Amino acid sequence: MKKILILGACGQIGTDLTLELRNRFGEKNVIASDIYSKNEGFLKDGIFEIIDVLDKKKISEVIDKYQITEIYHLAAVLSGNAEKNPMKSWEVNMTGLFNILELGVEKKLNKIFWPSSIAVFGPSTPRENTPQDTITDPNTVYGISKLAGERWIEYYNNKYNLDVRSLRYPGLISYKAEAGGGTTDYAVEIFYEAVRNGKYECFLSKNTELPMMYMDDAINATIELMEFKKENLSIKTSYNLSSMSFTPDEISKEIKKHIPNFQITYHPDFRQKIADSWPKSIDDSLARRNGGWRHKYNLSEMTEIMLKEITKKLN
C-alpha cells in the first residue's frame, strides 16, 4: 500500500499536488505537511502534520507513525526570496534535502520526488532550446542549491540505490495558491492584478522570455514520472521539462483579448538579472522519449482558465 508524505504542501505546487494525489490514491494515504498550517481548503479534509524540514527527528517520527513509503519533498526557498537571505536559504534547501535522502536510505523508502528547476542553468548556458546536458553555471543561491541537489540525488541513486526522481520545472502558473517568491511569479501575479485592478506593474522587462507551464501539466508530469518503471529512466539527476515560453508583453496581449482595457507597465527589479541568466526555451525531448511526456496547455488555454478561476475565487 502506497503511503505518501508531502513536505512543503501549503505552497504553490503542494496545494495542487496534495489534492491530485489524494484524488488518485485516497485521502487517508496522503499526509500533507508544512512548517505552518493554513487551516483552510484542502488541509481541513485530510491528514496534516507540522514539519520543519530541518527537523530530521520529527520527519523520522512522522514516517514511522504513518508507515510512509514515498516522499514528495517540495519545501524550499525560491529564487527571489533566496537572494534576500542566502545562508538561511542554502540551509533550508540543502540540509532539508539531506535529511530526506538520509531518511530515505535509513527507512528504505520506495521512492522520493524532489523538484529541480531551470535555475540550474546560468549565463553561459545556450538560452534557446536548452539541452538536457549542457553548461550549468548558475549564479543565484537558489540555482546553486538546485544544481548541488541534482548531483546529490544522482549520488544517492548510484551509491545507495535510493530511487529519487526529479524534474527541472519551468515557471509554474496556477490559481489555487499564490506563488512563493520566485522570478517567474509575475506570470501568476499578472492574472490577479488584471482581475482586481485591470493593470499590472511587472518586475521583469517587456521582452524577457522564460519557459513556463500551467500547473495541471506539471502535476501530471510529476505523478507520471513517479509511476514509470525505474529501468526506463535514463536520467538520475533531473529531466528537462517544457511546454511553452512567453514574454510579459505576450502574456499581457493574451490577457487583453479578455480584458481589453488591461494595462501593463514595466519596472524591472533585482529579479531581472536572475531572469536574464535563465533559458528562454527548453529542449525536453528526453522526458518525451523516456517517459512519453506530453503537455496539454498552451498560453491562450491557460490564460482563459486563469482569468475564469481567479474571477470566481476573488468573488
174 lies in the binding site for ligand SER (CB under 6 A): no
Nearer to ligand SER, 46 or 180 (CB): 180
171 lies in the binding site for ligand SER (CB under 6 A): yes
For 256, other C-beta atoms within 10 Å of its C-beta total 15
Pick one of 15, 18, 33, 79: the residue that binds ligand SER (CB under 6 A).
79
Distances (CA, A) of 223 to 24, 76, 287: 10, 20, 13
Nearer to ligand NAD, 52 or 263 (CB): 52
Interacting residue ranges for ligand NAD, rule: CB under 6 A: 7-8, 10-14, 34-36, 51-54, 74-76, 78, 92, 115, 117, 169, 171-172, 180-182, 184
Q: At its nearest, how many Å lie between ligand NAD and the CB of residue 231?
A: 26
Nearer to ligand SER, 62 or 78 (CB): 78
Query: DSSP assignment of 174-236, as one string?
Result: -SSS---S-GGGHHHHHHHHHHHHSEEEESS-TT--EEEEEHHHHHHHHHHHHHS-GGG---S
Q: How far is CA 300 from the centre of its chain?
A: 21
Residue with cell 544517492: 156
Report how far residue 58's alpha carbon sits from residue 55's, in angstroms, rounded to the nearest whole number: 6
Q: Cβ distance 204 to 250 under 8 Å?
A: no
Q: Which 102-161 residues touch ligand SER, going by CB under 6 A?
A: 117, 119, 142
Pick one of 93, 130, 174, 183: the residue that binds ligand SER (CB under 6 A).
183
| Residue 201: all three cell numbers together | 506593474
Catalytic residue among 36, 66, 72, 142: 142
Active-site residue, 142 included: yes
78 lies in the binding site for ligand SER (CB under 6 A): yes
> What residues are labeled active site?
142
